[in-house]
Amino acid sequence: MSAPPVDAAPVGVDRLVDLVAGRRVVALTGAGMSTDSGIPDYRGPDSPPRTPMTYQQFMGDAAFRRHYWARNHLGWRHMDGTRPNAGHRALAALERGGTVTGVLTQNVDLLHTKAGSRRVIDLHGSYAQVRCMACEHRISRFSLADRLTAANPGFAESVSAATGVEIAPDADAVVEETAHFRVVDCERCGGILKPDIVYFGESVPRDRVDAAFGLVESADLLLVLGSSLTVMSGLRFVRRAAKLAIPVAIVNRGATRGDEFATLKLETGCSETLAAFNTQGDGNLRSV
């Protein structure tokens, strides 16, 4: 699902254009970047309260794992089927034009890559890979789907027929009855399989963090798009930029934990803001 057509540039875009002009920009994106593609977020102004599963719950309790995989088995194909919105496409165009030098994303939906962005650091991993927590063997989510379908014949059809499927963030679906769902383990060693996603309570791999800091430190501007910066995995990059006197611009509906560091804050949506830029020709930003 794409954003509706933009009739006029949002208020403040001219100020953002002036701030970006002539600078090397690194973008830091959160869930608000993907809501116009039909992926809900956890903390948006209109989002219902949701409690994400923690790393400790997933690893420590088989019932939590069963509940997670039942929900994910129904929801992950929705995320796989989503397409980049106008904001993703505009950001990729800015990279092609030389304005954006890299994208750090807290999202696991791969929509920046699908849109054509080339230098992307997926801080929290992606929905498309699954990792064995014992032997580190990785498989695609497609491969796991085949195994889970074989182990749970008719599960998806029965849930859809009974209640319908409501999609939740992080490739989940809202499902209450999961007690009879069968989980499968690693075919190589029998270890626990986990999405290759950084859960709440889990740390982003150090090499990934270091690469992201390197991008920020080489930038002339950090542009935050659609993130409340509630968790440290995103906020630390804003703090690093501010410490180095690198300007920070934030585009987000609602307050963020990084507002105090912002040179400019726009309370607008990501798609309409980025889509209001002319990125043709020399790749420099101009409001339209």
List binding-site positions for NAD(+).
30-50, 106-109, 226-228, 252-254, 270
248 φ, ψ to 5°? Answer: -125, 125
- Taking Cα atoms as reference points, which of 19, 10, 99 lies closest to residue 279? 99
| Given the residues 73, 88, 112, 124, the one annotated as active site | 124
Q: Which residues are annotated as a binding site for Zn(2+)?
A: 132, 135, 186, 189
Cβ contacts of 203-210, under 8 Å, gap ≥ 24: 204/123, 204/124, 204/233, 208/121, 208/123, 209/123
Q: Which residue has the tokens 């400790």?
A: 56
Beta strands in 24-143 (DSSP E): 25-29, 100-105, 120-122, 125-132, 138-140
Cβ–Cβ < 8 Å for 259, 266: no
Cβ–Cβ < 8 Å for 87, 115: no
Based on the residue annotation, tell me whether 124 is a catalytic residue of this protein: yes
The catalytic site residues sit at 124
